[in-house]
Structure 1
Amino acid sequence: MNLIAEFDIVSPTLRRSIRAVPGTVVTTEDFRRVDGSLHFVFWVDTDDAEAFEAAMGGDETVASFSLLATVDGRRLYRATLSESGESGVLYPSMATLDVTLLDATATEDGTRVRARLPSREALWGLREACEERDVPFHLRGVFGLESVEAGRYGLTESQREALVAAHEAGYYEVPRETSLATVADRLGISTQALSARLRRGQSNLIEHTVVNRD
């Protein structure tokens, strides 16, 4: 049995850096174990990249970091996590429990995670791993793969909600009938968070329609 779980955690990893610049959104790209160190690869949407990097320089969860790329204002970083930084991530437990990370987006309020699990036991194992790390865990929903229809085109619920809200408000009309900030206010999230959700959602739609038409 395979399941899709959506849950929120409040991890100390990069928390100081994210909170240093309100509205910053960090989207996980990858975790890699290299020579014993855990490398975290992630995208950052922020209004002040210099302030974010300065905060990372003093973040006790980050041993070192480097900028890998800049694309349309977004920045891709690789950070080598410190011991305290590793203690706040679920990657080792997810690997042990055969859990696949599908999506993880962090804001100053916490991290929204979407993952594929082999069983409910694996989900309980993740929750226990959070308890051991003193990381708050809030389960939002569990779905069977059969309920994650092809009609959702690989979208997370938050991405679908953002796309629908933007469409209904006229954000995609030419000329636009509303602003990104207005749609974000309606959803109760920051402009940066909405921008990240729309980009990820549009990418998923393209991948599951235009790219994979067969």
Structure 2
Amino acid sequence: MSTIAELEVPAAEFALSSTFDAIPDAEFEVERVVAYDRDKLLPFVWITAPESGHDALDDALRSDSSVEGIELLTDLGDEWLYRMDWTQAIDLVVHLLHEEHATVLTAFGERDRWVLRILFPDRDSLSRSYDFCEDAGLSIDVTSIYELDDRRRGQFGLTADQLESLITASEHGYYEVPRGATLQEVAAELDISHQALSERLRRGHGRLVQNALVIGTEGRDVLR
């Protein structure tokens, strides 16, 4: 069964480490990453640096030894989209993409770390990647692991009850303005108390925020 894991990697052991040092307030969000050979990655990266500003950020990127071929694609004033070649400190991602046929769902960098959310073909490929990092002397912290099931609820870390409750509430208009159904009416549809439904929705909303929006939150399971 496919497995999603969240991995933390020190910025010093990954691409853009000197940019992290030069622009400590910068935040990086990878939009898409392509490995077009074993020596280079081609990521599209959204970057913000509210205190340092764009000029300082651009200078830091262009002097970063892990990066080549930088191109600014979009300038939104306080957020910038770059296309760049990563050529150093990319062994982990190259291994994931080439050897394990994994998919990088999200990658987010801030302060002193990168957080990667990876879809692995199975649990064994995750274990092999962990072993690869140990053998290569790379630091890696697996903060969250969960399996995808045939209803895809695992993609967001939801329980079956939470998924059913969220879908039922949405189908009955609970999230519409004005509401198409009350909490009590949705609970009656599910044949549970409104207190139980409220708890399911609250926990489900929390898992959705953590796994769809917040990267780097502490997970439930660890690999070892």
TM-score by length of 2: 0.61
In the TM superposition, what whole-angstrom CA distance separates every residue of 1:64-123 from its partner, at most 9, and x where no partner exists? 3110112362111111223x2434x51443342121211110112211111221222111
SS of 1:73's partner is coil
Higher relative strand content: 1
When residues 113 and 97 of structure 1 are mapped into structure 2, their CA distance, relative to the original with a 3 A threshold, is same
Number of the residue aligned with 1:175: none
SS of 1:90's partner is helix
Number of the residue aligned with 1:7: 7
SS of 1:111's partner is strand
Gaps of 5+ in 2: 167-203, 218-224
1:63 aligns with 2:116: no
When residues 5 and 39 of structure 1 are mapped into structure 2, their CA distance, relative to the original with a 3 A threshold, is same
Query: Does the aligned pair in 1 maintain the 2:71–2:83 contact within 8 Å?
Result: yes
Query: Take 1:160 and 1:77, find their aligned partners in 2: how far apart are those partners?
Result: 21
* From 114, 118, 126, the counterpart of 2:117: 114
TM-score by length of 1: 0.64
**Bigger Cα displacement from structure 2, 26-35 vs 42-51:** 26-35
Task: State the 1:132 CA deviation.
Answer: 4.2
CA RMSD after TM alignment: 2.8
In the TM superposition, what whole-angstrom CA distance separates every residue of 1:36-55 from its partner, at most 9, and x where no partner exists? 74322211011222111111
**Bigger Cα displacement from structure 2, 98-107 vs 122-131:** 122-131
Number of the residue aligned with 1:22: 24
SS of 2:146's partner is strand
Query: Take 1:71 and 1:134, find their aligned partners in 2: how far apart are those partners?
Result: 39
Identity %: 20
Bigger radius of gyration among the two: 2
1:86 aligns with 2:90: yes
